[in-house]
Amino acid sequence: MNSLDLIESFSEFKEFKNIDRETMMNIIEDVFRSMLKKRYGTDDHIDIVINIDKGDLEIWVNREIVPDGEVEDPNIEISYSDAIKIEPDFEIGEEVSEQIYFEDFGRRNILSLRQNLISRILELEKDHIYKKYRERIGEIVAGEVYQVWKKEIMVLDDEGNELILPKSEQIPSDYFKKGETVRAVVSKVDMRNSNPVIILSRTAPEFLERLFELEVPEVFDGLITIKKIVREPGERAKVAVESYDDRIDPVGACVGMKGARIHGIVRELRNENIDVINYTANPQLFIQRALSPAKISSIEIHEDESRADVFLKPDQVSLAIGKGGHNIKLAGKLTGYELDVYREGAEDIDDVDLEEFADEIDGWILDELKAIGCDTAKSVLELNIEDLEKRTDLERETIEEVMKIFKAEFE
């Protein structure tokens, strides 16, 4: 039996890479048997022979030969006189096998059958994709940007499966164009309206962890353990590492010679600053390392062990806080403590040099203030916003933000 529609269907089905031959044959046979049951009431007496490669399918109906006039069900029985017309040597009690031709079912049944086949195989394909990516949560995948929308981009993997990278899971400075290759970690896999939805992320800590595994062989081999990662995507990240081998310097191994290993990760993360810190169970030492590059004078941990007071010299405060407050915020997340920074001898400090705000305020802004003769925070605060707006090239919003930072220093 050959049918053009069926051969075309088989050709389409063979394109599904994730379905093996045996599974495909079982699905096709199951769909045909369902149709035959409706027609004959049972399929116990029917044989189905399938050749996927050639697009062939044969259906054979087996009927028992009974004496003339004793046929009760013509679907499973045939009279002796009709049987010997097919083959003169037949005897009562034997079985007669007759081929049913596909065209006998009618065009409507053929189309219905084809639709059922496509539906069953698509369902199996979707289930395979869902299970495949459920097992890959936390792994890095690479794909090609296929479509860019305002709130998300669609990425195609090497098998043509659709993956979604939402705007909220992109690094703020990420910018992708159609056809570009993007790397991200599988963050979440859902089923929506029977369709698998694979969500990617470039902001998750797991993405940074996988990048370390790719760039640092000691991390991949388990010689160096990443204890914890905290990130402000695109701005700064802190990674606590530990080595169980005294001969291996975990920080040095992660950074590499002249920063060779860390540079590849930094580029992937759009120049995100990465602080690699040697993990320790000593909370005071861990807080001190987490606040690097600032040099800590002393630390007092509260009895409830949820907060810690950090005391620094005046010129180290801005380093501890960091630009935009990222350094102290991440140090708190990494260590698990709420950190309060105090300037040693703050009551004796009358003013603070502008250079001490270099980590919080862009250099060109400080240069603008110095150009009008302001070298300290108080010298800027003595001027009003309108005056600063006239005398510098700074916008009002920038001036207000700078004034806010300076005022906070003296509160």
| pLDDT tens digit sequence for 74-131 | 777 778 887 787 778 777 878 887 777 766 676 777 777 778 777 877 888 888 899 9
Q: Residue 214's domain spans which residues?
A: 210-279
Q: CA-to-CA distance for 409 and 411, rounded, in angstroms?
A: 6
State whether 164 and 236 are in the same domain: no
Domain boundary among 180, 201, 222: 201
The DSSP 8-state label assigned to residue 353 in this structure reads B
Residue 389 identity: E
pLDDT less than 50: residues of the chain: 1-4, 7, 347-348
* Residue 338 in domain: no
* Residue 247 in domain: yes
Domain boundary among 237, 253, 279: 279
3-state secondary structure 120-174: HHHHHHHHHHHHHHHCCCCCEEEEEEEEECCCEEEEECCCCCEEEEEHHHCCCCC
Q: What is the pLDDT of residue 7?
A: 47
* Residue 137 in domain: no
Residue 43 identity: D
Side by side, which strands form the sheet with 224-232? 224-232, 236-243, 273-278
State whether 12 and 94 are in the same domain: yes
Report pLDDT digits (tens) over 38-56. 777 677 777 777 766 665 6
* Residue 329 in domain: no
State whether 125 and 148 are in the same domain: no
Residue 51 identity: N
Side by side, which strands form the sheet with 296-301? 296-301, 307-312, 338-343
* Residue 33 in domain: yes
State whether 103 and 167 are in the same domain: no
State whether 35 and 95 are in the same domain: yes
* Residue 250 in domain: yes
Q: CA-to-CA distance for 371 and 388, rounded, in angstroms?
A: 11
Report pLDDT digits (tens) over 267-301. 999 999 999 999 999 999 999 999 988 889 899 99
State whether 13 and 91 are in the same domain: yes
Q: What is the pLDDT of residue 386?
A: 86
In 3-state terms the chain splits into helix, strand, coil percentages (rounded to 5) of 45, 25, 30
* Residue 323 in domain: no
Place of tokens 């054979």: 60
Are the CB atoms for 272 and 171 separated by under 8 Å? yes
* Residue 311 in domain: no
Q: What is the pLDDT of residue 280?
A: 94
Domain boundary among 256, 279, 302: 279
Nearest Cα residue to 36 out of 23, 21, 48, 26: 48
Q: Name 336's Cβ contacts closer than 8 Å, sequence gap at least 6.
A: 306
* In 196-321, alpha helices (H): 205-215, 217-220, 250-255, 260-268, 283-290, 314-321
Q: What is the pLDDT of residue 263?
A: 94
Query: Taking every pair of C-alpha atoms in the chain, what is the biggest distance, in angstroms?
Result: 121
Q: Number of structural domains, the chain?
A: 4
pTM of the model: 0.67
Are the CB atoms for 379 and 331 separated by under 8 Å? no
